[in-house]
Amino acid sequence: MTGKLFNFCDLLCKYAETPKEEGIDGSGSCHTFIALYCTKKKSLVHKNMPCKDKRPKTIGKASGKVKGKR
């Protein structure tokens, strides 16, 4: 082993989306689906399979300010 951890395909990746076609993976539920659409590969991929291209989604910068409070 090289000591590297695998990255697994999931919705935390910036390339991953739920499939646009309803019921494409036979589940019909967001909690039991087994397929993801990879925008990088432009195809359906198995959720939770090892992926060397996984990149975390970026979240907008937080300003540190809370609205309505001084």
- Residue 70 located in a structural domain: no
Residue-number span of the structural domain to which 44 is assigned: 1-57
Inform me whether the pLDDT recorded for 14 exceeds 90: yes
Task: Report how many domains make up the chain.
Answer: 1
* pLDDT confidence bin for 70, thresholds 50/70/90: very low
| pLDDT tens digits, one per residue of 22-39 | 666 655 555 567 888 999
DSSP codes, 2-69:
-SPPPPB-STTBTTEE--SSTTTTS--STTT--EEEETTTTEEEETT-B-SS--BPP-PPP-S--TT-
- Residue 63 located in a structural domain: no
- Residue 37 located in a structural domain: yes
- Residue 14 located in a structural domain: yes
